[in-house]
Amino acid sequence: MSTEEPNLIMLLISFGLLILASAYFSSSETAMMSLNRYRLKHLARNKHAGASRANKLLETPDKLIGVILIGNNFVNFLAAAIATTIAIQIFGEPAPLITAIVLTLTVLIFAEVTPKTIAALYPEKIAYPSSLLLILLLKVLYPVVWMVNVVSNALVRVLGFNSVSDDSHQQLSAEELRTVVYESGERLPRRRQGMLLNILDLEHVTVNDILVPRNDIVGIDIEDDIDEILSLIGSSQHTRLPVYKKDINNLVGMLHLRSVGKLIRVETVNKAVILGETVEPYYIPESTPLHIQLSNFQRKKLRMAVVVDEYGAIKGLVTLEDILEEIVGEFTTDLADSSKDFHAQEDGSYLIDGSTSIRDINRILSWNLDNTGAKTLNGLLTEMLQSIPDSSVGIKLDGYYAETVQIQGNVIRTVKMWQAKKAQDEE
């Protein structure tokens, strides 16, 4: 065996080891940059050792990239030199073209594409263990890394960019959070997905969108006979009732039926007693966003508010339960079947109460009616017709068809509605 053969074997082994080292640096870079930052911070807060190390390295990305690239370029250049030496020993003279082709293919396959692909698919499995060696190399090579970063950051500033790390780009907007929730897939139950999405929508919805209209308010007219008042109190499905004089705009206060129930057991209840148990109404403007009103309810320890317009006139009521239903949905199993405002027909259409809000229709039936203007179905139809119809009329909306069924006074009471494609099929 000639002395050249052991030398060649040693060179080949050295070349292989350098390719492995290059693969390590390439995979480490991809893995570290592919880590889910929010999962990483969560694991770091829970004292996960690998996540803590990786998170510390990512706090100074310039140093991390510096040590990886220094190591990667060093082993690649050294591998190129050894490959040239191997080529000379095999061919007896320099073979730059063959060496370049073989080296390029070898580095691409074994040191770049393959390790980076694996790292992109399994970043945590690669990043957490490799962070140990990266931290050690950073300490050993710190002077070199520091010098390279000084020059690099100076060039960055010359080019007009900020060399200081800014984490603001990592902060997610509401729409980006929405995408994260959608992409959670099976990891998050559909119901919880819906609740999270509804929470994100709260800031875009005002109390005017969910209030109980003044015409639908159930309250106590203190001018009524006491027997009628007590009968209303006894049969009411609500725990709180507004108390007014003749008109809801002459609001006296809010009555909690629990306090009246206690008094009925021990004394005769009259109007004076009822007025004595009322509390001052809590007024809010109609433009209040739901997320703010939810916070206000919590801060004031209240559950009901009176909604007023810009002129101070009462528009309706909103309760804590109304806001919670915007988050968790209606407190029923089947909304369309259980709602008194919706009656499914055999032909696929629905009889809908005219006072039903457009938001409720869209949510319950998964429709997409325009609710930027009118808030109720009656308001939407009268807005489209620009008058109150005297008899049954059909209206074609954007993708839907409506037919007035019952008109009472100046209000459309009942409407038959279905998707417009149904009408097209019948034609």
Give the span between the Cα atoms of 27 and 193, in whole angstroms: 34
pLDDT of residue 167: 55
Are residues 374 and 301 part of one domain? no
pLDDT of residue 253: 92
- Count of domains in the chain? 3
| pLDDT less than 70: residues of the chain | 1-6, 94, 162-171, 185-186, 262-267, 330-340, 421-427
Q: Which pTM value belongs to this model?
A: 0.60
Q: What is the domain extent for residue 389?
A: 335-426
Are residues 225 and 320 part of one domain? yes
Are residues 152 and 22 part of one domain? yes
Q: How far is CA 245 from CA 89, 119, 250, 252, 278, in A?
A: 108, 73, 6, 7, 13
* Residue where a domain terminates, one of 170, 195, 226: 170
Q: How far is CA 154 from CA 31, 61, 328, in A?
A: 27, 16, 53
pLDDT of residue 165: 55
Are residues 142 and 47 part of one domain? yes
Q: Is residue 198 part of a domain?
A: no
pLDDT of residue 49: 92
* Residue where a domain terminates, one of 296, 327, 358: 327
Are residues 242 and 93 part of one domain? no
pLDDT of residue 332: 52
- If one counts every other C-beta atom within 10 angstroms of the C-beta of residue 225, the result is 10
Report helix, strand or coil for 252: strand
pLDDT of residue 265: 62
Q: Which residue has the tokens 């038959």?
A: 416
Give the span between the Cα atoms of 60 and 152, in whole angstroms: 14
